[in-house]
């Protein structure tokens, strides 16, 4: 069986597609992935995929371009839409093979924003992706994001981060309202430093300024805006663990099997993007007003959801990390 997976964006969601690749490969399924450039870089050298097809947003600019793209996608038994937006729906209408769409549960998530999810069963995106394959008789159990980093990639980033033991700190997020306050991230880094744990700050070009500031104030290594996606994955894989906002870095850590503390503010772990308990921990205050947003775009005056002490963040982190001979302590 040869199938096409479609997940165009965003980085974290594309990384979570990796959770179904090993089970599909084990069942003898040949898999191609269609995604936006540059997210295909995530799967560089990944032998579980026959092919990664990177496209640009212009390939979806109108019906004519979508039809043209569909005509180039041939030779598949089935397609699986793991995005569930209008663009991918229109693409599926032109594809010459059956396409199944995963249940995005958008309504349920929106109801969570209205009625709050404190007693709701948490969703997990890898499980949601896995469900759709039952339509062709494929059962996927215990899906987990997983990416492979080559020894060459590891050695390359060792030259950039020549530290024996360090934590990765990711202060960025797509929306400003999803970001744990900068000064509190500084407190986290200082607490780690007081325990002999150095920090490496990662992020995109958007986080260059905050990275520089935190680095100058704390002495942490700043790599914001300096790494490719694969290099970021490699650095994370060398760390003892990760502390991050609700962002793609959480899923990077999960995919390279590093313990992660994920800090949630206006969004909520129940939406599906929290680490599994064996992957890390999600911190959320569960306020009466939380979650106030599906994606974290909503403006907030007081940001009470981020009244999370740095001591709590570090304590959770230490509970996840094996110290390999270092005496464990609390901040």
Query: 115 falls in which pLDDT band (50, 70, 90)?
Result: confident
Answer for the pair 159, 153: CB distance below 8 angstroms, yes or no.
Answer: no
Query: 119 falls in which pLDDT band (50, 70, 90)?
Result: low
pLDDT at 174 over 90: no
Domains and CATH numbers, the chain: 2-102 (3.40.50.2000), 155-320 (3.40.50.2000)
Helix (H, G, I), strand (E, B) or coil at 321: coil
Answer for the pair 75, 53: CB distance below 8 angstroms, yes or no.
Answer: no
Q: Secondary structure of the chain in the HEC alphabet?
A: CEEEEECCCCHHHHHHHHHHHHHHHHCCCEEEEEEECCHHHHHCCCCCCCEEEEECHHHHCCHHHHHHHHHCCCCCCEEEECCCCHHHHHHHHHCCCCEEECCCCHHHHHHHHHHCCCCCCCCCHHHHHHHHHHHHCCCCCCCCCCCCCCHHHHHHHHCCCCCCCEEEEECCCCCHHHCCCHHHHHHHHHHHHHCCCEEEECCCHHHHHHHHHHHHHHCCEECCCCCCHHHHHHHHHHCCEEEEECCHHHHHHHHCCCCEEEECCCCCHHHCCCCCCCCEEEECCCCCCCCCCCCCCCCCCCCHHHCCCHHHHHHHHHHHCCCCCCCCCCC
pLDDT for 324 = 36
Instruction: Report the sign of the C-alpha dihedral through residues 90, 91, 94, 96, in that order.
Output: negative
Mean confidence (pLDDT) of the chain = 92
Please state, in angstroms and rounded to a whole number, the distance separating the CA atoms of residues 106 and 320: 32
For the CA atoms of the chain, what is the radius of gyration?
A: 20
Higher pLDDT, 290 or 230: 230
pTM assigned to the model: 0.92
Over residues 24-55, the pLDDT tens digits come to 999 999 999 999 999 999 999 999 999 999 99
Percent of the chain with pLDDT over 70: 94
pLDDT at 103 over 90: yes
Please state, in angstroms and rounded to a whole number, the distance separating the CA atoms of residues 34 and 73: 10
pLDDT at 188 over 80: yes
Q: Quote the distance between the C-alpha of residue 121 and its chain's center.
A: 20
- From 248-262, 271-285, 317-331, the region with the lowest mean pLDDT: 317-331
Helix (H, G, I), strand (E, B) or coil at 34: strand
Please state, in angstroms and rounded to a whole number, the distance separating the CA atoms of residues 81 and 95: 12
Element (H, E) at 244: strand 241-245
The mean pLDDT value for 280-294 works out to 85
Q: 293 Cβ partners below 8 Å, 6+ apart?
A: 113, 177, 266, 267
pLDDT at 323 over 70: no
- From 155-169, 247-261, 288-302, the region with the lowest mean pLDDT: 288-302
Backbone angles phi, psi at 102, to 5 degrees: -75, 155
Please state, in angstroms and rounded to a whole number, the distance separating the CA atoms of residues 246 and 290: 14
Helix (H, G, I), strand (E, B) or coil at 278: coil
Percent of the chain with pLDDT over 90: 81
The mean pLDDT value for 173-183 works out to 90
pLDDT at 160 over 70: yes
């Amino acid at each position: 069986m040869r199938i096409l997976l479609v997940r165009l964006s965003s980085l974290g969601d594309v990384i979570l597609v990796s959770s179904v690749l090993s089970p599909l490969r084990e069942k003898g399924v040949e898999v191609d992935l269609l995604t936006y450039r540059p997210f295909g870089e995530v799967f560089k050298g990944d032998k579980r995929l026959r092919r990664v097809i990177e496209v640009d947003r212009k390939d979806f600019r109108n019906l004519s371009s979508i039809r043209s793209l569909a005509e180039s996608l041939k030779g598949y038994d089935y397609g699986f839409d793991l995005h569930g937006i209008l663009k991918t729906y229109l693409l599926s209408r032109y594809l010459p093979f059956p396409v199944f769409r995963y249940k995005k549960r958008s309504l349920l998530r929106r109801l969570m924003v209205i009625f709050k999810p404190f007693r709701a069963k948490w969703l997990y995106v890898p499980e949601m992706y896995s469900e759709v394959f039952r339509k062709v008789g494929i059962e996927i159990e215990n899906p987990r994001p997983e990416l492979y980093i080559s020894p060459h990639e590891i050695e390359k980033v060792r030259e950039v981060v020549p530290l024996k033991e360090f934590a990765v700190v990711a202060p960025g997020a797509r929306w400003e309202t999803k970001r744990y306050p900068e000064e509190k991230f500084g407190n986290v880094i200082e607490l780690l430093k007081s325990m002999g744990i150095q920090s490496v700050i990662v992020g995109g070009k958007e986080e260059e300024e905050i990275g520089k500031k935190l680095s100058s104030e704390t002495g942490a290594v700043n790599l914001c805006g300096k790494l490719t996606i694969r290099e970021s994955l490699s650095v994370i894989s060398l760390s003892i663990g990760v502390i991050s906002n609700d962002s793609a870095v959480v899923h990077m850590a999960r995919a390279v099997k590093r313990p992660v503390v994920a800090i949630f503010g206006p969004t909520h772990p129940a939406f599906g993007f929290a680490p599994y308990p064996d992957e890390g921990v999600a911190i959320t205050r569960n306020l009466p007003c939380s979650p106030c947003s599906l994606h974290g775009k909503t403006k907030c005056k007081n940001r009470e959801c981020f009244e999370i002490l740095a001591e709590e963040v570090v304590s959770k982190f230490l509970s996840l990390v094996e110290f390999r001979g270092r005496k464990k302590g609390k901040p």
